[in-house]
Amino acid sequence: MLKDFLLPFTSYKYLLYQLTLREIKARYKQSFVGYAWVLLNPFAQLLVYSFVFSIVFHFPTNNVPYIVFLYAALLPWTLFQSSITSATQSLVDNSTLLKKVSFPREVIPYASVLSKIVDFGFSAFLFTGLAIVLRVPIAPTVFYIIPIFFIQLFLTTGIALVFSAFNLFYRDIQYLTNLLLMLWMYMTPIVYPLSLVPNKYVWLYKLNPTVGIIEGYRSALFGYPFEWTIIGWSAILSAVVFLMGYYLFKRSEKYFADIV
């Protein structure tokens, strides 16, 4: 059981590496500015949002410049969103492999998620640069982003596994994913601070596991107090989502070659 679970990182780790590499390389091979697109896209999005929400709306951000406040949340959100979108598509895109070669199928969506983590790493450099330029002090609690990152990773992978498998059966999933992620983004405190959510609904709002994750990143970076209850809730929910996703994926895996 545990051995099967670890297979993508043991016997198949070179395959996982090659598929991840393929995802990354394929993206910049034919474009002019190449890999820079990975940074340019979210950066442009960042500028638009920060124009709209800092100049037009004016949100309270506890002395952190709005653009940095936003970036700290937009960065992990972009990772979440792009991982799920690309993983949902991944099995369909690799249908020829599903029909010909046997290997643990979860390697394919894992590779999608991993390649997005690489992008995330590059964007994180840009964030650091921005924080230095704008003289935003980074709190000593910054290392807490590591466990929070893993909570996010389990949630992302769990959803990625379910969606990628279901998309093989029904192609609606890929469209549904875009819709769902757009709604989900506005149900998460990314462009606005959590403090703006009306007190009456805040308990309900906090049931969303991405709230704990995004707030966790901000607390770690800017030294806001940690709300451990919501982070804990996110951790529990992420573990449940991952286990269920993995179970469903493995259950349906043996039919993949028959239905593609």
Partner 1 sequence: MKPIIEFIHATKQYILQEDRTFKELIPSIVFRRPLSRKYKALNDLNFSIYEGETVGIVGKNGAGKSTILKLIAGVTYPSQGKVSIKGRVAPIIELGAGFHHELSGYENIFLNAAILGMHKLEIEQKVESIIAFSELENFIHVPIKKYSTGMQMRLAFAVAIHIDAPILLIDEVLAVGDEDFQKKCLQYLSELKKTHKKTIVFVSHAREAVEEFCDRALLIEEGRLVMDGSPKKVFAKYD
What is the torsional sign of CA 178, 184, 188, 192? positive
Q: How many Å apart are CA 178 and CA 243, to the nearest integer?
A: 23
Stretch near partner 1 under the rule CB under 8 A, chosen from 21-29, 57-65, 132-140, 141-149: 21-29
Q: Residue 98 interacts with partner 1 (CB under 8 A)? A: yes
* Choice from 15, 126, 138, 239 touching partner 1 (CB under 8 A): 15
Q: Which is nearer to partner 1, 18 or 45 (CB)?
A: 18
Q: Residue 32 interacts with partner 1 (CB under 8 A)? A: no
Stretch near partner 1 under the rule CB under 8 A, chosen from 95-103, 136-144, 190-198, 227-235: 95-103
Minimum distance between the CB of residue 255 and partner 1, rounded to whole angstroms?
8
Contact 195, 69 (CB under 8 A): no
Q: Residue 91 interacts with partner 1 (CB under 8 A)? A: no
Report residue 162 as tokens: 């379910």
Minimum distance between the CB of residue 123 and partner 1, rounded to whole angstroms?
23
How many Cβ atoms from other residues are within 10 Å of residue 44's Cβ? 10
Q: Residue 6 interacts with partner 1 (CB under 8 A)? A: no
Maximal C-alpha separation, the chain: 57
What is the torsional sign of CA 135, 141, 145, 151? negative
Report residue 199 as tokens: 């007190």
Contact 145, 79 (CB under 8 A): no
Residues that bind partner 1 (CB under 8 A): 14-15, 17-19, 21-22, 25-26, 29-30, 96-103, 169-172, 254, 256-259
